């Protein structure tokens, strides 16, 4: 059985929170082959709230730790694609990672394995629901700025 090829193409674009603060949206492109398997039906949103600077962004140390966490998660799910990170939102005092996964139980186990060696306290909250149509992904993708829009 062939291994599912998951895009490593990402884009970023600015948007605004309801209060007008900047949010940077980072989305993964070209995931139709994953979506069309019909197996990644659960959307999990992982939220990290932080003390924002005047623009709503994290301080340098928090941003660096978020980068480490992001790399660990990407490495884990690249090796075992039981979940796919489709988007990352940073701004207005929080970072949100959006994953689509096949199993909530396996996602939780792999997520914990990925971060097992992180000694810092991570103020993470989780929210999960079924989203077999990938509605959140479609909404996020509307933020993508295409080359021909310039």
The CATH number linked to 94 is: 3.30.70.100
> What are the CA-CA distances from residue 89 to residues 28, 48, 53, 61 (Å)?
12, 10, 16, 18
pLDDT the model gives residue 150 = 47
* 94 part of a folded domain: yes
Q: What is the pLDDT along the chain (150 residues), one digit of tens a residue?
A: 457 889 999 999 999 999 989 999 999 999 999 999 999 999 999 999 999 999 999 999 999 999 999 999 999 999 999 999 999 999 999 999 999 999 999 999 999 999 999 999 999 999 999 999 999 999 999 888 776 554
Q: Given CA atoms 135, 141, 96, 46 in this order, what sign does their dihedral have?
A: positive
For position 144, what pLDDT does the model report?
A: 84
| Other CB atoms within 10 A of residue 131 CB | 17
pLDDT of the residue at 43: 98
**Residue 1: per-residue pLDDT:** 47
Q: Is residue 144 part of a domain?
A: no
d(CA 148, CA 75): 32
**Does the residue 63 lie in any domain?**
yes
The count of domains in the chain is 1
Whole domain around residue 51: which residue ranges?
A: 10-137
């Amino acid at each position: 059985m062939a291994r599912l090829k998951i895009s490593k193409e990402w884009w970023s674009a600015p948007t605004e929170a309801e209060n007008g603060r900047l949010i940077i949206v980072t989305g993964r492109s070209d995931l139709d082959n994953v979506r069309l398997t019909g197996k990644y039906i659960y959307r999990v949103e992982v939220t990290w709230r932080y003390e924002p600077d005047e623009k709503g962004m994290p301080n340098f140390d928090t941003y660096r730790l978020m980068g480490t966490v992001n790399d660990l998660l990407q490495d884990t799910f690249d090796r075992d694609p039981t979940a796919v990170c489709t988007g990352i939102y940073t701004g207005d005092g929080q970072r949100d990672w959006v994953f689509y996964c096949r199993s909530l139980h396996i996602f939780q186990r792999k997520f914990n394995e990925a971060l097992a060696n992180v000694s810092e306290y991570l103020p993470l909250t989780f929210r999960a629901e079924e989203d077999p149509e990938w509605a959140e992904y479609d909404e996020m993708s509307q933020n993508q700025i295409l080359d021909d829009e310039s």
